[in-house]
Amino acid sequence: MTVHGGIGQSIKRKEDARFVRGKGNYVDDVKLPGMLYLDIVRSPYAHATLRYINIEKALKVPGVLAVIRGKDLEAANLAWMPTLMSDKQMVLPVERVMYQAQEVAAVVAESRYAAADGVAAVEVDYEPLPVVVDPMKALEPNAPILRPDRKEQTNRIWHWEVGDREGTDKALKGSDVVVKQHLYIPRLNVASIETCGCVASFDAMGKLTVWMTTQAPHAIRTVFALVTGLPEQKIRIISPDIGGGFGGKVPVYPGYVIAVVAALKTGRPVKWIEDRSENIQADSFARDYHIDAEIGATKDGKLTALRVKTIADHGYTDAAANPSKFPAGLFHIITGSYPFEKAHVEVDGVYTNKPPGGIAYRCSFRVTEAAFTIERMVDVLAQKLGMDPAELRLKNFIPPESFPYKSALGWTYDSGNYPAALRKAMDLIGYDALRKEQAEKRERGELMGIGISSFTEIVGAGPSHTFDILGLKMFDSCEIRIHPTGKAIARFGTKSQGQGHETTYAQILAEELGLSSDDIAIEEGDTDTAPYGLGTYASRSTPTGGAAAAIAARKIRDKAQKIAAHLLEVSPADLEWKDHKFQVKGVPDKAKTMQEIAFAAYTNLPPGMEAGLEAVDYYDPPNMTYPFGSYICALDIDKDTGEVKIRRFVAVDDCGTIINPMIVEGQIHGGLTMGLAPALLEEIGYDENGNIQGGSFMDYLLPTAVETPKWETAKTTTPSPHHPLGAKGVGESATVGAPAAIANAVVDALSHLGVTHIDIPITPWKVWSILHEKGVA
């Protein structure tokens, strides 16, 4: 017997009833009586000394009530704030600006228009300083020291390494074949539909409420308490509907803090909403990794060792949000789907005159960078060996029987069946026929490429023994209350930004409690009501929050079993949970539903039992989860224009147990499109003066329906053995796996011309230039 809206059912998303009718409630929809508006003066220079800030004219603009500068904040010890990586970040500068578009001052006014006029009237005098844009140059001995406030007088933030250096060196020296490749994975913007913003308001008792675009409201509350000195119980963070996060709404932005100060200063609510250009120019970025990778192999294609050295450009402060023990995130998942016996990874974090960030964009702690590198490198090796890239992968995959598998860099993969996923993808796309077609086209001088990516992800951060952010352990939580009529509410420490938690969490609870998912309300994002949690990012909601839901539901079932036994006048041991109700073993007709038990929990309890039917669980996962997949892309290249046209793209994903197949498919479609974007279109570049080249959607290119191919999706199912439901998480898989498949396909199309690598984004200009150089175009 199935329960309505249980696990595995493609029910429609509950939240869409309001979203598709324009009834969502986003931060910019919050309107409070007497609310003021905040706009920000931003630096035109990437590096400059502040000579003075003249606010007299701005204060004379009609409607302007206040202008806040760094020195105003300094008096309250708020000019700097800690980052989530224990570095520090300016809220507003006092002496120097460190990147173009950095916040310099803030204007508070009666209307958004008056605030913008006030911003235009603020006069700032700058003395330009030498700009450091290139992280490699930042490490040169004579480079200007960008952070003289640090004890370490270098632009190197940290050096981190993992693995067996000597063993890897030896294994590479002993390998028949070694391939090396430099890869640049460019800086990206998350480009969520909703930009960042907040509304800050103090009540008469001095309690601060902030409606905020945040993916992690509880962690933000704690950071706010630490930064402002306000008692944590007097801070309420409400994260209403969020229009896309992708990691860009994890950090604490200066605008949030300034809005709180402005509300305190004026005694009125203050709203700050950034515009699109501000979002692209100043918000948390993704990627910006400069990677040198080497793979060794035997001459018959058996992988031996992997060595990776990386320069990570963090901008002027390390404001990523990696677990404390892993400054380069989970980049060392870079051994991917292959059983390297030896591996060694080094990463150097570097300061430059760019905005901080480094965690955003569905990257799950640098996993995209890792997956792209290993999957690109396997193709580089295949090309060197003259082997088919599918054959090379199938020859080297971690065997299904090896799980749980411990990698050379220390991770213990929970489960996987990589050959099954790749073979399924090859069957679906007709791999052998495509190779035959490619050979025929090459004979005719046409350019066709086939690219594979067999990626392994690592998500679900994370086990408390290893994972924390600023000391906060990375558990997550669920609190369930079942009402007397058998309806329920459940609150979570995570926060949906469009993933569909109101539906999927309700489906988990429906399955576990025997209630209809329609009868279960899901709430997230209000720190006054939801249990503490670390939020939603890095595909962690189902692995942590979803697990907490299952465990909390099972705690409720424990109590419900006793109540059912009381109602049925049997021993609890005589009951079994079957067909979503408690029934007497062997007597299916003698049973109690959860609705009946819930009513009894308030009306007819066993003697000595307290009333109510509630439970809470703070789930500390025993391990990470390891979703995986195999993607194959077939594309054609226009020789005359360099344009890449993706003809087919087959994505086989394995995220363990699936809660809602329709939502998972939607996640994969979105993720694939977000993987297509960096492969072919997206890049934030800088000129030598530190000006962003492409601070609007005129230049920062995103795929539209025109550029997006028809995605063909399929699945294999390999449940996680340690997750209560066997689920693994899927939010990021597609964007992690797709870029390498596309890049590999483009290089494959040009491989007969001697091309071994092209850095992403692979623009028509790059392709045409290569074709022109090779005498083809």
Partner 1 sequence: MRVEGTFTVRAPRERVYSFFLTPAELSTCIDDPHTIEAIDPDHFKGTVKAGVAFIRGTFMWNATIKDRAPPERAQLAVHGAGMGSAFDLVASLDLSEDRDLTTVQWGADVQMNGTIATVGARLLQGTIDKKTNAFFENARKKLETA
> Which amino acid is located at 576 in the chain?
E
Query: How many angstroms separate the CA atoms of 488 and 620, rounded?
Result: 24
Query: How many angstroms separate the CA atoms of 55 and 66, rounded?
Result: 9
Q: Of 13, 42, 362, 540, which one is the catalytic site residue?
A: 362
> Which amino acid is located at 508 in the chain?
I
Residue 471 has a CB neighbour count (10 Å cut-off) of 8
Among 38, 124, 146, 230, binds partner 1 (CB under 8 A): 124
Query: In the annotation, is 362 catalytic?
Result: yes
Q: Which residue, 119 or 674, has its beta carbon nearer to partner 1? A: 119
Among 687, 753, 765, 774, binds partner 1 (CB under 8 A): 687
How many residues bind partner 1, per CB under 8 A?
Answer: 27
Q: Which residue, 642 or 695, has its beta carbon nearer to partner 1? A: 695
Q: Of 369, 524, 596, 732, which one is the catalytic site residue?
A: 732
Residues 411-440 contacting partner 1, CB under 8 A: none
Query: In the annotation, is 633 catalytic?
Result: no
Checking DSSP bridges between strand 488-492 and strand 628-637, what pairing results, if any? unpaired
Query: How many angstroms separate the CA atoms of 522 and 474, rounded?
Result: 21
Residues 6+ apart with CB under 8 A from 349: 156, 157, 158, 159, 160, 312, 314, 318, 327, 328
Residues 278-297 contacting partner 1, CB under 8 A: 281
Q: How far is the CB of 42 from partner 1 (least distance, A)?
A: 6
Tokens 């749980």 belong to residue: 404
Give 598's Cβ-side CA count (13 Å radius): 21
The residues with which 39 forms a beta bridge, in sequence order, are: 107
Among 45, 99, 331, 418, binds partner 1 (CB under 8 A): 45
Q: How far is the CB of 699 from partner 1 (least distance, A)?
A: 6
Say what the alpha-carbon torsion angle 299, 302, 307, 312 is, to the nearest 10 degrees: 110
Number of H helices, E strands in the chain: 19, 34
120 binds partner 1 (CB under 8 A): yes
Q: How far is the CB of 195 from partner 1 (least distance, A)?
A: 15
Listed residue (209, 165, 160) closest to 324, CA to CA: 160
Q: Which residue, 119 or 730, has its beta carbon nearer to partner 1? A: 119
Q: Of 9, 89, 102, 215, which one is the catalytic site residue?
A: 215
Among 24, 694, 721, 764, binds partner 1 (CB under 8 A): 694
Q: Which residue, 281 or 542, has its beta carbon nearer to partner 1? A: 281
**Per CB under 8 A, which region of 44-52, 60-68, 293-301, 426-434 contacts partner 1?**
44-52
272 binds partner 1 (CB under 8 A): no
Checking DSSP bridges between strand 614-619 and strand 587-592, what pairing results, if any? unpaired
Query: In the annotation, is 215 catalytic?
Result: yes
Among 49, 466, 691, 717, binds partner 1 (CB under 8 A): 691
44 binds partner 1 (CB under 8 A): yes
372 binds partner 1 (CB under 8 A): no
695 binds partner 1 (CB under 8 A): yes
Asked if 743 contacts 676 with a C-beta cutoff of 8 angstroms, the reply is no
Q: Which residue, 44 or 430, has its beta carbon nearer to partner 1? A: 44
Alpha helices for 239-360 (secondary structure H):
254-266, 276-282
101 binds partner 1 (CB under 8 A): yes
Q: How far is the CB of 69 from partner 1 (least distance, A)?
A: 17
Query: How many angstroms separate the CA atoms of 437 and 617, rounded?
Result: 55
Asked if 90 contacts 283 with a C-beta cutoff of 8 angstroms, the reply is no
Query: In the annotation, is 363 catalytic?
Result: yes
Residues 64-93 contacting partner 1, CB under 8 A: none
46 binds partner 1 (CB under 8 A): yes
699 binds partner 1 (CB under 8 A): yes
> Which amino acid is located at 51 in the chain?
R
54 binds partner 1 (CB under 8 A): no
Q: Which residue, 117 or 414, has its beta carbon nearer to partner 1? A: 117
353 binds partner 1 (CB under 8 A): no
**Per CB under 8 A, which region of 41-49, 212-220, 238-246, 580-588 contacts partner 1?**
41-49
49 binds partner 1 (CB under 8 A): no
DSSP-assigned states of every residue in 474-502: --EEEEEEE-TTS-EEEEESS--SSS-HH
Residue 314 CA from chain centroid, whole number: 17
100 binds partner 1 (CB under 8 A): yes
Q: How far is the CB of 39 from partner 1 (least distance, A)?
A: 11
719 binds partner 1 (CB under 8 A): no
Checking DSSP bridges between strand 488-492 and strand 520-524, what pairing results, if any? parallel
Asked if 593 contacts 581 with a C-beta cutoff of 8 angstroms, the reply is yes
Asked if 717 contacts 654 with a C-beta cutoff of 8 angstroms, the reply is yes
53 binds partner 1 (CB under 8 A): no
Interface residue list for partner 1 (CB under 8 A): 41-46, 100-101, 119-120, 123-124, 126, 128, 277, 281, 687, 689-696, 698-699
Instruction: Kindly list the catalytic residues.
Output: 215, 362-363, 732
